[in-house]
Chains A and B, each alone.
Chain A
Protein backbone atom coordinates (compact mmCIF):
# COMPACT_ATOMS: atom_id res chain seq x y z
CA UNK A 1 0.00 0.00 0.00
CA UNK A 2 3.00 2.30 -0.21
CA UNK A 3 2.77 2.84 -3.94
CA UNK A 4 1.04 5.70 -5.72
CA UNK A 5 -0.09 7.65 -2.64
CA UNK A 6 -1.15 10.67 -4.70
CA UNK A 7 -3.35 8.54 -6.92
CA UNK A 8 -5.02 7.10 -3.81
CA UNK A 9 -5.41 10.61 -2.39
CA UNK A 10 -7.09 11.76 -5.60
CA UNK A 11 -9.48 8.82 -5.60
CA UNK A 12 -10.34 9.36 -1.92
CA UNK A 13 -11.08 13.01 -2.66
CA UNK A 14 -13.23 12.25 -5.67
CA UNK A 15 -15.34 9.77 -3.68
CA UNK A 16 -17.71 12.21 -1.95
CA UNK A 17 -18.79 14.35 -4.94
CA UNK A 18 -19.19 11.22 -7.04
CA UNK A 19 -21.46 9.79 -4.39
CA UNK A 20 -23.51 12.97 -4.00
CA UNK A 21 -24.00 13.57 -7.71
CA UNK A 22 -26.66 10.88 -8.33
CA UNK A 23 -28.61 12.29 -5.38
CA UNK A 24 -28.49 15.75 -6.93
CA UNK A 25 -29.45 14.34 -10.30
CA UNK A 26 -32.36 12.41 -8.79
CA UNK A 27 -33.57 15.50 -6.93
CA UNK A 28 -33.51 17.75 -9.93
CA UNK A 29 -34.98 15.19 -12.30
CA UNK A 30 -37.83 14.87 -9.81
CA UNK A 31 -38.23 18.63 -9.75
CA UNK A 32 -38.13 18.81 -13.53
CA UNK A 33 -40.31 15.83 -14.45
CA UNK A 34 -42.73 15.56 -11.54
CA UNK A 35 -43.10 19.21 -10.64
CA UNK A 36 -42.48 20.34 -14.24
CA UNK A 37 -40.35 23.23 -13.09
CA UNK A 38 -38.53 24.89 -16.00
CA UNK A 39 -35.10 24.33 -14.55
CA UNK A 40 -31.91 24.01 -16.66
CA UNK A 41 -30.60 20.75 -15.19
CA UNK A 42 -27.95 20.26 -17.84
CA UNK A 43 -26.31 23.60 -17.18
CA UNK A 44 -26.65 23.14 -13.42
CA UNK A 45 -24.75 19.85 -13.55
CA UNK A 46 -21.68 21.21 -15.33
CA UNK A 47 -19.95 22.44 -12.18
CA UNK A 48 -20.85 19.59 -9.78
CA UNK A 49 -20.20 16.98 -12.46
CA UNK A 50 -17.03 18.24 -14.07
CA UNK A 51 -15.22 20.47 -11.64
CA UNK A 52 -16.14 19.64 -8.05
CA UNK A 53 -14.80 16.04 -8.12
CA UNK A 54 -11.57 17.28 -9.68
CA UNK A 55 -11.30 20.01 -7.07
CA UNK A 56 -11.82 17.50 -4.27
CA UNK A 57 -9.25 15.11 -5.70
CA UNK A 58 -6.63 17.77 -6.24
CA UNK A 59 -7.33 19.28 -2.82
CA UNK A 60 -6.76 15.92 -1.17
CA UNK A 61 -3.52 15.50 -3.12
CA UNK A 62 -2.50 18.91 -1.81
CA UNK A 63 -3.39 17.76 1.71
CA UNK A 64 -1.16 14.72 1.34
CA UNK A 65 1.68 16.83 0.02
CA UNK A 66 1.37 19.53 2.69
CA UNK A 67 0.49 17.38 5.72
CA UNK A 68 4.07 16.20 6.10
CA UNK A 69 5.20 19.82 6.19
CA UNK A 70 2.61 21.78 8.18
CA UNK A 71 0.57 19.01 9.84
CA UNK A 72 -2.78 20.75 9.36
CA UNK A 73 -6.00 18.93 10.39
CA UNK A 74 -7.87 17.57 7.40
CA UNK A 75 -11.13 19.22 8.51
CA UNK A 76 -9.60 22.68 8.40
CA UNK A 77 -7.92 21.88 5.11
CA UNK A 78 -11.31 20.95 3.64
CA UNK A 79 -13.02 23.99 5.16
CA UNK A 80 -10.75 26.27 3.13
CA UNK A 81 -11.85 24.73 -0.17
CA UNK A 82 -15.11 26.75 -0.52
CA UNK A 83 -13.03 29.94 -0.50
CA UNK A 84 -11.44 28.64 -3.68
CA UNK A 85 -14.43 26.77 -5.07
CA UNK A 86 -17.12 29.41 -4.51
CA UNK A 87 -15.68 31.98 -6.95
CA UNK A 88 -15.01 29.28 -9.54
CA UNK A 89 -18.54 27.94 -9.15
CA UNK A 90 -19.99 31.45 -9.31
CA UNK A 91 -17.98 32.17 -12.45
CA UNK A 92 -19.17 28.98 -14.14
CA UNK A 93 -22.75 29.64 -13.06
CA UNK A 94 -22.54 33.20 -14.33
CA UNK A 95 -21.14 32.09 -17.69
CA UNK A 96 -23.90 29.50 -18.04
CA UNK A 97 -26.62 31.98 -17.15
CA UNK A 98 -27.45 30.34 -13.82
CA UNK A 99 -26.28 33.25 -11.71
CA UNK A 100 -27.25 36.88 -12.06
CA UNK A 101 -25.94 39.77 -10.02
CA UNK A 102 -28.68 42.25 -9.09
CA UNK A 103 -28.76 45.52 -7.18
CA UNK A 104 -29.54 43.91 -3.85
CA UNK A 105 -28.27 40.38 -4.22
CA UNK A 106 -27.47 37.44 -6.43
CA UNK A 107 -30.02 35.25 -8.13
CA UNK A 108 -29.12 31.57 -8.40
CA UNK A 109 -30.95 29.31 -10.84
CA UNK A 110 -33.69 31.93 -11.39
CA UNK A 111 -35.45 31.09 -8.12
CA UNK A 112 -32.95 31.50 -5.27
CA UNK A 113 -32.45 35.12 -4.28
CA UNK A 114 -29.57 35.73 -1.89
CA UNK A 115 -29.00 39.25 -0.53
CA UNK A 116 -25.39 40.37 -0.59
CA UNK A 117 -25.42 40.64 3.21
CA UNK A 118 -26.21 36.92 3.45
CA UNK A 119 -23.44 35.75 1.12
CA UNK A 120 -20.84 35.44 3.91
CA UNK A 121 -23.33 33.30 5.87
CA UNK A 122 -23.71 31.02 2.85
CA UNK A 123 -19.96 30.72 2.47
CA UNK A 124 -19.67 30.01 6.21
CA UNK A 125 -22.32 27.30 5.91
CA UNK A 126 -20.45 25.79 2.97
CA UNK A 127 -17.24 25.86 5.01
CA UNK A 128 -18.98 24.07 7.90
CA UNK A 129 -20.35 21.45 5.53
CA UNK A 130 -16.98 20.95 3.90
CA UNK A 131 -15.27 20.77 7.30
CA UNK A 132 -17.54 17.92 8.39
CA UNK A 133 -17.34 16.10 5.07
CA UNK A 134 -13.58 16.30 4.95
CA UNK A 135 -13.04 15.41 8.58
CA UNK A 136 -15.35 12.42 8.73
CA UNK A 137 -15.58 11.07 5.20
CA UNK A 138 -12.45 12.03 3.29
CA UNK A 139 -10.34 11.64 6.44
CA UNK A 140 -11.76 8.15 7.03
CA UNK A 141 -11.12 7.21 3.42
CA UNK A 142 -7.57 8.46 3.71
CA UNK A 143 -7.06 6.23 6.75
CA UNK A 144 -8.61 3.24 4.99
CA UNK A 145 -6.36 3.79 1.98
CA UNK A 146 -3.31 4.20 4.18
CA UNK A 147 -2.46 7.78 3.29
CA UNK A 148 -3.37 9.55 6.52
Chain B
Protein backbone atom coordinates (compact mmCIF):
# COMPACT_ATOMS: atom_id res chain seq x y z
CA UNK B 1 0.00 0.00 0.00
CA UNK B 2 1.63 3.24 -1.12
CA UNK B 3 1.06 6.80 0.12
CA UNK B 4 -1.63 7.47 -2.46
CA UNK B 5 -3.62 4.44 -1.36
CA UNK B 6 -3.28 5.45 2.26
CA UNK B 7 -4.63 8.92 1.53
CA UNK B 8 -7.49 7.43 -0.40
CA UNK B 9 -8.29 4.99 2.41
CA UNK B 10 -8.18 7.84 4.91
CA UNK B 11 -10.64 9.89 2.86
CA UNK B 12 -12.95 6.91 2.44
CA UNK B 13 -12.93 6.25 6.17
CA UNK B 14 -13.60 9.88 6.96
CA UNK B 15 -16.53 9.85 4.55
CA UNK B 16 -17.91 6.62 6.00
CA UNK B 17 -17.67 7.67 9.65
CA UNK B 18 -19.48 10.86 10.54
CA UNK B 19 -17.56 13.28 12.73
CA UNK B 20 -18.25 12.94 16.45
CA UNK B 21 -19.80 15.96 18.08
CA UNK B 22 -17.99 17.50 20.94
CA UNK B 23 -21.09 17.31 23.16
CA UNK B 24 -21.88 13.58 23.30
CA UNK B 25 -23.23 13.45 26.86
CA UNK B 26 -26.87 12.25 27.22
CA UNK B 27 -29.32 14.89 28.35
CA UNK B 28 -30.08 12.98 31.56
CA UNK B 29 -28.42 10.59 34.04
CA UNK B 30 -28.91 7.03 32.82
CA UNK B 31 -27.61 5.25 35.92
CA UNK B 32 -30.95 5.29 37.85
CA UNK B 33 -32.60 3.68 34.84
CA UNK B 34 -29.95 0.94 34.84
CA UNK B 35 -30.57 0.32 38.54
CA UNK B 36 -34.35 0.14 37.98
CA UNK B 37 -33.81 -2.34 35.16
CA UNK B 38 -31.54 -4.52 37.29
CA UNK B 39 -34.06 -4.55 40.13
CA UNK B 40 -36.98 -5.39 37.86
CA UNK B 41 -35.28 -8.40 36.22
CA UNK B 42 -36.08 -11.71 37.90
CA UNK B 43 -33.31 -13.29 39.89
CA UNK B 44 -31.98 -16.57 38.52
CA UNK B 45 -33.89 -19.51 40.03
CA UNK B 46 -32.07 -21.24 42.87
CA UNK B 47 -30.63 -24.64 42.18
CA UNK B 48 -32.98 -26.49 44.53
CA UNK B 49 -36.38 -24.83 44.34
CA UNK B 50 -38.77 -27.74 44.77
CA UNK B 51 -42.35 -27.70 43.58
CA UNK B 52 -45.08 -29.15 45.80
CA UNK B 53 -45.47 -32.00 43.30
CA UNK B 54 -41.84 -33.00 43.74
CA UNK B 55 -42.19 -32.92 47.51
CA UNK B 56 -45.19 -35.24 47.16
CA UNK B 57 -43.18 -37.60 44.96
CA UNK B 58 -40.34 -37.60 47.45
CA UNK B 59 -42.77 -38.31 50.29
CA UNK B 60 -44.29 -41.18 48.31
CA UNK B 61 -40.84 -42.62 47.64
CA UNK B 62 -39.87 -42.38 51.29
CA UNK B 63 -43.17 -44.02 52.28
CA UNK B 64 -42.56 -46.81 49.77
CA UNK B 65 -39.09 -47.48 51.17
CA UNK B 66 -40.41 -47.31 54.74
CA UNK B 67 -43.18 -49.84 54.03
CA UNK B 68 -40.88 -52.09 52.00
CA UNK B 69 -37.38 -51.75 53.43
CA UNK B 70 -36.27 -54.76 51.43
CA UNK B 71 -36.62 -52.54 48.37
CA UNK B 72 -33.59 -50.46 49.42
CA UNK B 73 -30.90 -52.80 48.03
CA UNK B 74 -32.91 -53.30 44.85
CA UNK B 75 -33.26 -49.54 44.31
CA UNK B 76 -29.58 -48.96 45.17
CA UNK B 77 -28.65 -51.69 42.71
CA UNK B 78 -30.21 -49.62 39.93
CA UNK B 79 -28.70 -46.29 40.99
Contacts and interface: CB of A to CB of B under 8 A. Distances in A.
Give chain B's interface residue range (CB within 8 Å of chain A). 10 to 19
Main secondary structure of the interface of B (DSSP, over half): helix
A112 B57 contact: no
Interface stretch (B18-26, B35-43, B66-74): B66-74
A74 to B, nearest CB: 13
A97 to B, nearest CB: 14
A140 B73 contact: no
Interface of B: 47-48, 50, 54, 57-58, 60-61, 64-65, 70-71, 73-79
24 contacts: A24-B79, A44-B77, A48-B77, A48-B79, A85-B78, A109-B77, A111-B70, A112-B70, A121-B64, A122-B71, A122-B74, A125-B65, A125-B75, A126-B78, A128-B60, A129-B75, A131-B57, A132-B54, A132-B57, A132-B61, A136-B50, A140-B47, A140-B48, A143-B47
